Amino acid sequence: MSNDTPVLGRTTPAAVTPLVSPSGAGILHLGLGSFHRAHQAVYTAAAIQASGGDWGIVGVASRSRSIVDAMHAQEFLYSVATISPGSTSLTIPGVHTDAFVGAEEPERVVSQIADSGIRIVTLTVTENGYSYSPATQHLDLDDATLRADLAGGAPRSTIGQLARGLQARAAAGGAPISILSCDNLSSNGTHTEKLVREFLSELPGSEGADALAFLDRAVTFPSSMVDRIVPATTAEFRARIGGLLGAADDIPVPAEPFTMWAVEDRFAGGRPTWEAGGAVFTDEVGRYEQMKVRLLNGTHSLIAYLGALTGVGTIPEAIALDGIESAARAVMRDEYEPSIELPSGVDVRAYETELFERWANSALGHRTSQVGTDGSVKLRQRIPEPALLSLHRGDMPHLIALTVAGYLSCIAPLAGFDPGVHAAAMTDGARERLAALAATARTGHDLARRVIAELHLFGDELAEQDAFIARVGELIDTIQRRGVDAAIADAVSASRTTKEMQP
């Protein structure tokens, strides 16, 4: 794009015009990242286009000043590019009315939640953003940020901001409001409500009492399941989209054609008609969550770690390898599927076929390093229950063990093993702690024992499964000594043998 190319904005002649221009804001969104802008914002644009309503979105970036600056410079417009191997289509949702950085203006987050015009607060802050201990499922009271939020002042944790905002809303006699988590947490609405209530209960004396009573009478926490693959934006992608638009867009979002949103219909202060964009309102959100977190996310993690260790940078490249495809199909069918209850009317074979088609979308370029990031939190949501169900019925979940072995080999390799550049690009809050354990571990079993049994990284119950820990250790050693292809062949062969022995 040349220097005199116009910047995307509401006054810019562009190839695609905004879907809507909201009359006012009714939603506060915490976590102004690419996923929200390609998912919930698109559904909200469709809802306003179909039924109207002042459901514009005030977006709060956790820390990123660059995205907020770009939103302001572009009059809160950006493009969503739906990408398939044969085509690229552009949409400009146009639903945001303002944006700011929560870390810079934490008191504004509180005041926005307290504002009676805001009727829904939505969240995409990732699993890491909830300030809870995966081991206990309760607030992590050892977290310094959370402790500071409890002590007073402008809160900086997500849970602290929600609790303090609802406290301020209650004090002002505020209108009903709903808090809608859109993160990959089991029963995410119930989980969020529990953490907010715990925060308010930890306040000294009766400080949180009025807010807790307000929650009882005027606040709901619906659960939801969200699904759309949204890769990271690159400079090359920006240039390509700018050429299609005829205007510079600093924050375009690439996304796959598939999108899904399953939501509990429990909204205290009303909601947009998100069903106009295809959202499903259902009492079976928990089943949709299980299906997505295990069949999609659990398998996706396996593909990412094996792909990175094989030396490929994208998910389509990884799934195109016969060994990785075989491992992915085996873990999905034999180890994850038996652990879930399918939502009514879902054909699991059609869903599986669709997943493999999505992962094979070579035009999307979803990176193994992006999918493999934050495995210490993600895998805790995905693997323990399916693994334990297999172990309790007397079967070894070889492919789930391979997932853990692949994860540890990427994030905390044993001395002398180089997992490659794609593994090195993965970020993980536990990397430093796990690397310290790996530095003094002599074998894969030693590393697996320290991480699973002693650190309890994947929960208390899995920490007691000696046979599973030994299997993970064997596969770590195989990856290091004979290569990842040998580990894949070993796990897939053992899984087939287990399946053949079943009655």
SS (H, E, C) 422-445: HHHCCCCCCHHHHHHHHHHCCCHH
Q: What is the per-residue pLDDT for 134?
A: 79
pLDDT score, position 500: 76
Which residue has tokens 């053992």? 494
Supply the pLDDT for residue 336. 98
Q: How far is Cα 305 from Cα 369, in angstroms, rounded to an integer?
A: 8
Residues 218 and 311 in one domain: no
Together in a domain, 137 and 264: yes
Residue 445 in tokens? 């079993």
Q: Are residues 250 and 381 in the same domain?
A: no
Within-domain flag for 352? yes
Model confidence over 231-265: pLDDT tens digits?
999 999 999 999 999 999 999 999 999 999 999 99
Judge whether 265 lies within some domain. Answer: yes
Nearest to 160 by CA among 129, 122, 181, 204: 129
206: CATH = 3.40.50.720
Clarify whether residues 175 and 222 are in a common domain: yes
- 229 falls within a domain: yes
Q: Where are the beta strands (DSSP E) in 170-232?
A: 177-181, 219-220, 224-227
**Along the 503 residues of the chain, how does pLDDT read in single tens digits?**
556 678 998 887 666 788 898 989 999 999 999 999 999 999 999 999 999 999 999 999 998 899 999 999 999 999 999 999 889 999 999 999 999 999 999 999 999 999 999 999 999 999 889 999 877 889 999 999 999 999 998 999 999 999 999 999 999 998 999 999 999 988 999 999 999 999 999 999 999 999 999 999 999 999 999 999 999 999 999 999 999 999 999 999 999 999 999 999 999 999 999 999 999 999 999 999 999 999 999 999 999 999 999 999 999 999 999 999 999 999 999 999 999 999 999 999 999 999 999 999 999 889 999 999 999 999 999 999 999 999 999 999 999 999 999 999 999 999 999 999 999 999 999 999 999 999 999 999 999 999 999 999 999 999 999 999 999 999 999 999 999 999 999 999 999 998 777 76
Q: Which of 228, 262, 281 is at the close of a domain?
A: 281
Of 226, 260, 281, the one marking the end of a domain is 281
Residue 412, classified by CB atoms within 10 Å of its CB into exposed (0-12), middle (13-18) or buried (19+), is buried
Q: What is the CB neighbour count within 10 angstroms for residue 380? A: 17
Residue 63 and residue 77: Cα distance in Å, rounded?
A: 20
Q: Is the Cβ–Cβ distance between 60 and 115 less than 8 Å?
A: no
The closest of 289, 79, 55, 60 to 178, measured between CA atoms, is 55
374 with 412, same domain: the answer is yes
Structure-block tokens of residue 232? 């990271």
Query: Tens of pLDDT along 79-101?
Result: 999 999 889 999 999 999 999 99
CATH number at residue 462: 1.10.1040.10
Total domains, the chain: 2
Which domain covers residue 247, as residue numbers?
Answer: 25-281
Q: Same domain for 265 and 333?
A: no
Q: pTM higher than 0.75 for the full model? A: yes
Backbone angles phi, psi at 17, to 5 degrees: -95, 155
425 plus 497 within the same structural domain: yes
Domain membership of residue 7 (yes or no) is no
User: Are 225 and 292 found together in one domain?
Assistant: no
Q: For residue 3, what pLDDT is reported?
A: 61
Res 128: pLDDT? 87
Quote the tokens at residue 324: 């990785």
pLDDT of the residue at 2: 53
In a domain, 9, yes or no: no
A 10 A CB-CB count for 239 gives 12
pLDDT at 16: 76
Domain boundary among 235, 262, 281: 281
Q: Are residues 274 and 291 in the same domain?
A: no
Model confidence pLDDT, tens digit, residues 159-196: 999 999 999 999 999 899 999 999 998 899 999 999 99
pLDDT of 476: 98
425 in the same domain as 446? yes
The Cβ of residue 14 has, within 10 Å, a number of other Cβ atoms equal to 20
- The answer to whether the beta carbons of residues 336 and 283 sit under 8 Å apart is no
Is 54 within the bounds of a domain? yes
> Does any domain span residue 334?
yes
Q: What is the pLDDT of residues 41-80, one digit of tens each?
A: 999 999 999 999 999 999 999 988 999 999 999 999 999 9
Q: Is the same domain home to 270 and 320?
A: no
- Asked if 160 and 101 sit in the same domain, the reply is yes
Amino acid letter, residue 376: S
